A and B are shown apart, each in its own frame.
Chain A
């Protein structure tokens, strides 16, 4: 067994134990282990390996753990779900997808990295809302909005420097702005007495939109964001 998979396995067991014992400390420890693996792999490959299944799911697990702790989600749900995700990564190859040197720029990594982090936060909020009615996910949702805004900003800046455009009528770009507006609506919904009742469902629906934005849009329409 590869050493990295062994450590992931240990992280999975720690997380599931945290869920079983309802121990927040074990879940935090498991999240820290996952973050450590990602930091080590970024150092090893000299750039954040966020373009393959193994590392993307690891990153999502870490984001889910942090979001669940921040929103005071049920510990059994947090522990089991994080553990299941980590066990799932054991089936995936650990090789990384090489990025052409020409696009290996800081702006590219910040743009894509903050987008993936925000997707993770939105998806985590959506899942927590679905299974845990009492959890308060609006605060982490707002951080997801901030990360997504940062991704749009760095994307626009990079597009200006690389292509002489700040925005393209490209499916992913249009849907990203559309989703950005929708997510602004979602966290504003708690300020409207009637809409407040549906905020939970709006957060859940944002998770579905994020999945479409992350996986479905390039598959369906293509465009300049195909990697």
Chain B
């Protein structure tokens, strides 16, 4: 089998789409990548297989992208950033996990050797804003958190998920994760790939596949 074959890319894309269709059909609720590992045991057998097909197809495509990286400097960087960003995405469930917590105003909770506290909340036109702190080794980081504006620090990340009410007292639903470079790496790599793709299209010129038989395996000619 020729790993540079365009037909292989087509086959793997189709496999991803079929696996994706199956995941969409059998999943009961939307799961984020950070929760896949925790929820995987609860998945039905069909959903487990479909998820593995989706992940496996994406992994093979990322390896193929890294392998068929072309010759020119720009094309090499373009394919490497694409391949690496896909690999980073696949490894997110194994390297970055989040926890959901509920905090009343002026309360705190201990998670992963850190203290997370809510000093107060404000309601405004753009939803709720919470004044939070994360404390680790008696070192405190404070910040305001609202929808679209998380608290990102070396002690951890905090997001507001919503507000619930328990006994008529508002409790803020918070998502917490210890610091992880993986999502930042993914966003950086994929962002770089997007920019380079635009530059490559603007530059035009010779395509990376011509004259090398790449994408046109010997057996297919």
Interface residues of A (CB under 8 A from B): 101-102, 105, 107, 142-143, 145-146, 149-150, 152-153, 156-158, 160-171, 174-175, 177-179, 181-182, 184-185, 188-189, 191-195, 217, 221, 223-224
CB of B157 closer than 8 Å to a CB of A = yes
Which B45-87 residues have C-beta < 8 A from chain A?
51, 54, 58, 61
A153 to B125, CA, bound (A): 27
**Are A185 and B215 in contact, CB atoms less than 8 angstroms apart?**
no
Q: Mark B36-48, 1 if CB is under 8 A from A, else 0.
A: 1000000000000
Q: How far is the CB of B29 from the nearest CB of chain A, in Å?
A: 9
**Are B24 and A175 in contact, CB atoms less than 8 angstroms apart?**
yes
Smallest CB-CB A-B distances: 7 pairs: A165-B32, A171-B24, A191-B209, A174-B20, A191-B215, A181-B13, A178-B17
Interface residues of B (CB under 8 A from A): 5-7, 9-10, 12-14, 16-17, 20-21, 23-25, 27, 30-34, 36, 51, 54, 58, 61, 89, 92, 98, 125-127, 147-150, 157, 159, 161, 175, 177, 183, 186-187, 190-191, 193-194, 197-198, 201, 207, 209-210, 214-216, 220-221
Select the residue from B126, B193, B194 with max chain A CB neighbours within 10 A: B194
**Are B159 and A185 in contact, CB atoms less than 8 angstroms apart?**
no
A153 to B23, CA, bound (A): 22
12 chain-A/chain-B pairs, Cβ below 8 angstroms: A145-B197, A156-B190, A161-B149, A162-B148, A163-B159, A168-B31, A169-B31, A177-B20, A178-B16, A181-B9, A194-B216, A195-B6
**Are B9 and A153 in contact, CB atoms less than 8 angstroms apart?**
no
A175 to B18, CA, bound (A): 9
Q: How far is the CB of A67 from the nearest CB of chain B, in Å?
A: 14
The dominant DSSP class at the B interface is: helix
| Complex: chain B residue closest to A225, CB-CB | B30
A102 proximity list for chain B (CB < 8 A) = 126-127, 147-148
Q: How far is the CB of B126 from the nearest CB of chain A, in Å?
A: 5
| Complex: chain B residue closest to A193, CB-CB | B216
CB contact between B201 and one of A146, A178, A195 (< 8 Å): that residue: A146
| Complex: chain B residue closest to A165, CB-CB | B32
**Are A174 and B54 in contact, CB atoms less than 8 angstroms apart?**
yes
Contact of A169 with B32 at beta-carbon distance under 8 Å, contacts A101-B126, A102-B126 already known = yes
List the count of A-B residue pairs having beta carbons below 8 Å apart. 147
| Complex: chain B residue closest to A192, CB-CB | B6
A180 to B21, CA, bound (A): 15
A194 proximity list for chain B (CB < 8 A) = 7, 216, 220
| Complex: chain B residue closest to A175, CB-CB | B20
The dominant DSSP class at the A interface is: helix
Select the residue from B16, B51, B125, B161 with max chain A CB neighbours within 10 A: B16
CB contact between B198 and one of A107, A146, A164, A169 (< 8 Å): that residue: A146
Select the residue from B34, B125, B221 with max chain A CB neighbours within 10 A: B34
Q: How far is the CB of A74 from the nearest CB of chain B, in Å?
A: 24
**Are B17 and A175 in contact, CB atoms less than 8 angstroms apart?**
yes
**Are B24 and A168 in contact, CB atoms less than 8 angstroms apart?**
no
A178 proximity list for chain B (CB < 8 A) = 13, 16-17, 20
Contact of A169 with B148 at beta-carbon distance under 8 Å, contacts A182-B17, A188-B9, A192-B6 already known = no
Q: How far is the CB of B38 from the nearest CB of chain A, in Å?
A: 13
A171 proximity list for chain B (CB < 8 A) = 20, 24
A181 to B198, CA, bound (A): 17
| Complex: chain B residue closest to A150, CB-CB | B194
Contact of A157 with B191 at beta-carbon distance under 8 Å, contacts A181-B61, A195-B10 already known = yes
Contact of A192 with B30 at beta-carbon distance under 8 Å, contacts A162-B147, A181-B13 already known = no
Contact of A167 with B92 at beta-carbon distance under 8 Å, contacts A156-B190, A195-B6 already known = yes
Q: How far is the CB of B25 from the nearest CB of chain A, in Å?
A: 8
Contact of A195 with B159 at beta-carbon distance under 8 Å, contacts A105-B148, A153-B194 already known = no
**Are B197 and A184 in contact, CB atoms less than 8 angstroms apart?**
no
